[in-house]
Amino acid sequence: MKSFEVQFRYQDRSEGAVEATKIVAASSLPGGVAKATREFVKGLDRKQRFDMNKNGLEIKAKPSMSEVASNTGSDAAAA
């Protein structure tokens, strides 16, 4: 499995811009984004979800380099 770093950002009514980062393990980028989004939204309360839906959710995703490098190194050592 690969690991992906997914960053979320939305406008909250009381806090302004809210940012969060999740690192998830998944076999593909779309799967990693979906998994991280589910985990992120589960952690929000009703008003935060409303603000997120009203103002939009910005998602940025990229492969997690620290995890990819460590997985590659362990695979090479095992071979």
Q: Is 0.85 topped by the overall pTM?
A: no
pLDDT digits (tens, 9 = 90+) for 9-62: 999 988 899 999 999 999 999 999 999 999 999 999 999 999 999 999 999 999
Confirm if 22 and 6 have CB atoms less than 8 A apart: yes
Confirm if 33 and 59 have CB atoms less than 8 A apart: yes
CA 54 to mean position of chain CA atoms: 20
Predicted pLDDT at 69: 44
Tokens, residue 1: 């499995």
- How do the domains of the chain map onto residue ranges? 2-63
Q: How far apart are CA 67 and CA 54, in angstroms?
A: 34
Confirm if 6 and 33 have CB atoms less than 8 A apart: yes
